[in-house]
Structure 1
């Protein structure tokens, strides 16, 4: 066995080896580990794991995939030094061993058992302490973020256990006479769980004993209203009898007096000295209300008197850790009448860190111990220090701590409070209460502006609101940077805020501008950077090469040319050192991270200084090629093959197969999660001359651009890639991007501009002999011809494209061409032929298998249209409902709007006007969200007819005018004429 593993399930799923946090893979691994933890020490059958992961709908490979996840978990634990026997195979499944592992749920159960035994033996203070420790283990909803019916059921059960334990703990507090202390928290719990009668009874009793009789009565009335409104019953006998007793002021309700701590023992010094060593408070301290409230919880622990309170503030250099600690210390200094000590441990700097023995010596002298009585040995000094502090209320601030060994001898017992600041997580330290472990982030925008106003003066900041917003962003809302720019503005009255924004906008000079005078942002980063392990520092440097807004662990693995588990370990090192920020889970359920701008600029500087140009370029190339590989695989899985797309010549770099499979389990969700980052990659690749990467990646993303209607992203990526291809003389890439830009304009119904792009693309495809690209372009040109009413030309172009698609085995595009041919037959009134073509298109899409759903939806939608034209309304409705089912599963908002439109028109044809109106209203809501004027206009046109039939003429005209405006905006003449005819039916 290796190092000891600690798992946490009473909140988000976490694991720690030694003092290092472990990062897991995707959602499947987390679900499997959660089930093993909930059954720790017992065998969990494979079938149970399969059912939990896939919620009763497993794929054929489910058991194999479970085995792969188990292997990945074992590899993770072994890589982190926990040994390879954490999870063992035991028929008919797997077992998570109890030896060598700890679990917060098991600790909770033990502490509750201790508390219950203490209650039985009437050792109530001990019971209260055990209950407090047990409930403090909960950091949020059980296994937050882990999905699956079995896990969610167990989480619900454990939440009920927590609430019952809370009620038991409250009963003990009431017996101890702590009624006044528990009222605020009890009231909050009752608001969250208004139907728990025992909790509400405790609140009523605590309020009554605190002299708040009227509030106790109001609590009862509120309970009665909730119970009657939601359950149709009166309060139970316990609540009712307490209510009656309060009305009578029953003497039996009087509680015991609050128990107090014994008098403190005398301190060794003959004369008690009260030191006050705090540095001055930060001028203009702004914000941090949540963090100050968390630190305030330390005061409650000190008041309890059972143990010392320890708070920890961590964060990146310049984020304001010391300022927060000192400001809070000044704010509560009156609560520590026996002294306020302060020491800078100098954990980060050129000088040697401060020896804790020296700090002990100074603190002892400050507390009145004569120098000749201070022992030489650190153990003896620590013992004397704790003896001197016994029974005293002293606030101790330990700033700039690097390692736990610096502070462990300085931690007192009794009723003292310690606040520690560090740039690292210091997981070895016992922080109590847990909420006093504060990870300090940047200020909010409003707080940042307030800070600048305090330094510079409100009038100067107020008149330059937009420039101030820009300045705040350029400073990453980092207090140190904001104070630097504020001081520069204050000392230069002739400077405007815009002038400083201009100076900072140059990324090559920004850190220089923020590193002048005694406060230097770059110097603070440098000191922390030196403390990073070599491999973590390498990853940090290379992350500075990217321009993406955020990233997943696979991106870091590509930069380092390593596997994702090693990359995740290094990422967590950087998170712990506050060089990276976690941004939460993305649409695929995986963790994402971001590098704040100033830290990104510093990383880029270190990369330029410490790595060869060839190393930097090789890292970027690996990242670009990995992006392209995953995007290509996601497109292929979404479509069922390399359909509707051309690819370039860039060699691929596939990640590990299991990782790739997890990333693209839902291809559109992966694209959604990476959308902004992939846009940045295309921009960066185009700017660096990687034209093949840029155009290939843009084309692979078209499925996202189309289904989610990200038209502006589509245009931006296409234009950047086209510019790069033109500069490189890349004709194939130019043709592909001209086609894509034409598709953008076609989507917006700017037909003349779209046609110009398609003409140029077609000419280039013919010039280089690219048949597939030529067919894709012809298909889109046919749509323009149909919109202009030239049905013969449109049919000829589609027929030509269809034969090419069949030759190159692009089944998806072939089906799409036939769908458009079916629409032309509908336009001609040949409904039988439209049905035949639609059915053939559906059949082709079905032959694709997995990935053919999009084509099936499109073909079925066209088939439904044909049925509607033939008056086969039942068949039309069933077909539209089938389309709805498919497009909802893919979050295809455009397809959803069209399917709802068709369903609404079918119900109109059946004379079901009310149902049609409701369906079309839903369709209009969807269309408004995707900014598609054509479909929005068609829905408004149909709604106008429905309202007219229902006699709501005012609403009808409003919808028809809206339809006319949208059709005129995009210039679709047949639809404009339909809207004009509908409006003409109304008297002028």
Structure 2
């Protein structure tokens, strides 16, 4: 077997250096003038455009904001011709500011069709405010007014002035008004709690100032009248009512509402020495908890996998006392359909789990965040443990005696999911991932399913179901060739069918011919953020530098199959080191083991589109732009 020119990049290579730990991340502050701090030091964000772009990303944190949306927000519908370029410059400038401050991770990522600010490792005061207000609401419902009032005091202390100060754009003004309304609702809730705690005299000055600043907020006027009445200032309470009535009629032409008028009448007659405090949530204890159902939407074009589903039925649904397993682990290469299989089976079997179905994307969320999410879905009330083992203990206690199905998607390590596994009982777990979770298989009798490409018939069914016309049946030979060019992988098959769907005048053979001549077939078969190329890019980024380089270099080998000795020549290493690198790629589901050759050495195989991705990555590497396949 011939090979392409060898670049011995591994000779003398050492282990990759670890990144230095950073004391803390970036602190974004929008509850007042827009600020960014790092370890207590303020960063210079830049001019009006950079501040507007950063504000827009912070208001949609952890979500993709399209470039068109950023242009609309920054220029308010009147963008210059260079707007897209200017947005890109703003993003580059912000990234440079963050890097200069010592944060090496990419906080603002490029994500089709725009950009996303990833808050992982950082903090945002508006999110902290919302979390503390939510906690106060829970404590209020549990009749814990002191704790709730303290949480609201801490939340309101985050405010430093009008929100998004220094950001001059209509969208910022709208969002500032929304945030300020949230602040006022929190203020009103805090006043209600403090009245409930008997702090009426201490509140008089604060409430008078608040009513003076916001004379049309009837709830604040109610609380001031109540505080005055309870402090023995009955005449002042009645005056407060008359001032409010006059102001309301003059400003908006309406009398005060029924609650205030009822309070006025009660104070006038001195009938109720302790009128009730409105605005306090009813206790949650007696409310029935809904059964959690977190499963994502089923895949409309899910095809095949009947053998795998039968094995999962046998392992997870058997009524036999010697139950084979309570866990199914689905693994396979990126884009092969692991999540679709898990979610399809979960929907089909949901009726067997009457206590609910829980779902978590482990690539997106931290273990503690997932535990908190699950605990809330299971009905946990009050503050949640901030320690992972403690939260896991409470989580397992809540699952005790229940029959719940858990789908844990995209697991990368046993450490990342072990606290999410229930104890012994009737719960069942489906895990998907691309890593070999040796510890999971060692500690649990888990069913391990490695799924591969679809069969010819299943691939044809995917193409036909997406295409929804007769072109596939009219050209069976061309359709089979198209399925082969797609590597029989679901994302590529759907992308191909979608191209035909949008090109009604094309025959299947037209697309086949185009793919056969394409210099980058994977690009032709990639549509959207979750394309096969995007999934492979993510997987390779998770590899260590030596394994990622091996992934690229091995694509120089001719053909899909090869032995370790051939790989060692390409990699410029000895046989043992080459085998270690190859096994890392096997564990990452980027290569397959196909047995031993005539020489007795282990043989490995590329899936075709994975090899194309590796070779494209090789050609895109610096200094290799002219390599040829």
TM-score for both structures, normalised by structure 1: 0.33
- CA distance 1:292–1:286, shift in 2 (3 Å): same
Contact 2:371 2:395 in 1 (8 A): yes
* Cα distance between partner residues in 1 of 2:567 and 2:620: 20
Asked if residue 492 in structure 1 is aligned to residue 509 in structure 2, the reply is: no
Contact 1:484 1:519 in 2 (8 A): no
Contact 2:325 2:445 in 1 (8 A): no
* Cα distance between partner residues in 1 of 2:528 and 2:625: 36
Contact 1:269 1:388 in 2 (8 A): no
481, 485, 497: which one pairs with 2:492? 481
Asked if residue 468 in structure 1 is aligned to residue 479 in structure 2, the reply is: yes
Contact 1:539 1:556 in 2 (8 A): no
Asked if residue 390 in structure 1 is aligned to residue 376 in structure 2, the reply is: no
C-alpha offsets along residues 600-642 of structure 1, whole Å, 9 cap, x if unaligned? 111112212226459989xxxxxxxxxxxxxxxxxxxxxxxxx
516, 519, 524: which one pairs with 1:513? 524
Contact 1:317 1:524 in 2 (8 A): yes
Asked if residue 528 in structure 1 is aligned to residue 546 in structure 2, the reply is: no
330, 335, 346: which one pairs with 2:352? 335
- CA distance 1:586–1:578, shift in 2 (3 Å): same
Q: Which has the higher helix share?
A: 1
- Map 1:629-778 to 2 at 5 A: none
273, 298, 311: which one pairs with 1:294? 311
CA displacement at 1:551 relative to structure 2 = 0.6
Asked if residue 570 in structure 1 is aligned to residue 563 in structure 2, the reply is: no
Q: Secondary structure at the match of 1:504?
A: helix
- CA distance 1:435–1:472, shift in 2 (3 Å): farther
* Cα distance between partner residues in 1 of 2:319 and 2:387: 29
Q: Secondary structure at the match of 1:337?
A: coil
CA displacement at 1:547 relative to structure 2 = 2.1
CA displacement at 1:597 relative to structure 2 = 1.8
- Map 1:477-626 to 2 at 5 A: 477-610=488-621, 612-613=623-624
Q: Secondary structure at the match of 2:379?
A: coil
- Map 1:6-85 to 2 at 5 A: none
433, 438, 453: which one pairs with 1:422? 433
Contact 2:454 2:489 in 1 (8 A): yes
* Cα distance between partner residues in 2 of 1:475 and 1:533: 28
* Cα distance between partner residues in 2 of 1:269 and 1:398: 31
Q: Secondary structure at the match of 2:429?
A: strand
Match of 1:317 in 2: 334
CA displacement at 1:515 relative to structure 2 = 2.1
CA displacement at 1:366 relative to structure 2 = 0.8
* Cα distance between partner residues in 1 of 2:310 and 2:550: 36
Asked if residue 441 in structure 1 is aligned to residue 458 in structure 2, the reply is: no
Match of 1:408 in 2: 418
Q: Secondary structure at the match of 1:573?
A: helix
Q: Secondary structure at the match of 2:556?
A: coil
CA displacement at 1:417 relative to structure 2 = 0.6
Match of 1:280 in 2: 297
* Cα distance between partner residues in 2 of 1:296 and 1:279: 20
Contact 1:310 1:432 in 2 (8 A): no
CA displacement at 1:297 relative to structure 2 = 2.9
- CA distance 1:431–1:476, shift in 2 (3 Å): farther
* Cα distance between partner residues in 2 of 1:557 and 1:488: 40
- CA distance 1:581–1:306, shift in 2 (3 Å): closer
CA displacement at 1:452 relative to structure 2 = 1.0
- CA distance 1:269–1:493, shift in 2 (3 Å): farther
Contact 1:542 1:616 in 2 (8 A): no
* Cα distance between partner residues in 1 of 2:539 and 2:518: 21
CA displacement at 1:518 relative to structure 2 = 3.8
Q: Secondary structure at the match of 2:438?
A: coil
CA displacement at 1:338 relative to structure 2 = 0.8
- Map 1:791-810 to 2 at 5 A: none
* Cα distance between partner residues in 2 of 1:279 and 1:588: 48
Asked if residue 369 in structure 1 is aligned to residue 380 in structure 2, the reply is: yes
* Cα distance between partner residues in 2 of 1:614 and 1:472: 29
Q: Secondary structure at the match of 2:291?
A: coil
CA displacement at 1:354 relative to structure 2 = 1.3
Contact 1:338 1:394 in 2 (8 A): yes
C-alpha offsets along residues 908-936 of structure 1, whole Å, 9 cap, x if unaligned? xxxxxxxxxxxxxxxxxxxxxxxxxxxxx
* Cα distance between partner residues in 2 of 1:417 and 1:444: 29
CA displacement at 1:567 relative to structure 2 = 1.0
* Cα distance between partner residues in 2 of 1:606 and 1:385: 43
Match of 1:344 in 2: 361
* Cα distance between partner residues in 2 of 1:459 and 1:615: 42
CA displacement at 1:586 relative to structure 2 = 2.3
Q: Secondary structure at the match of 1:274?
A: coil
C-alpha offsets along residues 830-851 of structure 1, whole Å, 9 cap, x if unaligned? xxxxxxxxxxxxxxxxxxxxxx
Q: Secondary structure at the match of 1:517?
A: coil
CA displacement at 1:302 relative to structure 2 = 7.4
Match of 2:81 in 1: none
CA displacement at 1:271 relative to structure 2 = 4.3
* Cα distance between partner residues in 2 of 1:302 and 1:365: 30
CA displacement at 1:459 relative to structure 2 = 2.2
* Cα distance between partner residues in 1 of 2:618 and 2:331: 26
Q: Secondary structure at the match of 1:396?
A: strand
Q: Secondary structure at the match of 1:548?
A: coil
Contact 1:306 1:415 in 2 (8 A): no
CA displacement at 1:479 relative to structure 2 = 0.7
With a CA cutoff of 8 Å and minimum separation of 6, indicate the structure with the bigger relative contact order. 2
* Cα distance between partner residues in 2 of 1:273 and 1:302: 27
Q: Secondary structure at the match of 1:430?
A: helix
Q: Secondary structure at the match of 1:551?
A: strand
Which runs of 5 or more structure 1 residues have no equivalent in the other structure? 1-267, 347-352, 618-683, 685-988
CA displacement at 1:411 relative to structure 2 = 0.4
CA displacement at 1:375 relative to structure 2 = 2.2
Which runs of 5 or more structure 2 residues have no equivalent in the other structure? 1-284
TM-score for both structures, normalised by structure 2: 0.52
- CA distance 1:468–1:455, shift in 2 (3 Å): same
CA displacement at 1:533 relative to structure 2 = 1.9
> Whose radius of gyration is greater, 1 or 2?
1
Contact 2:327 2:429 in 1 (8 A): yes
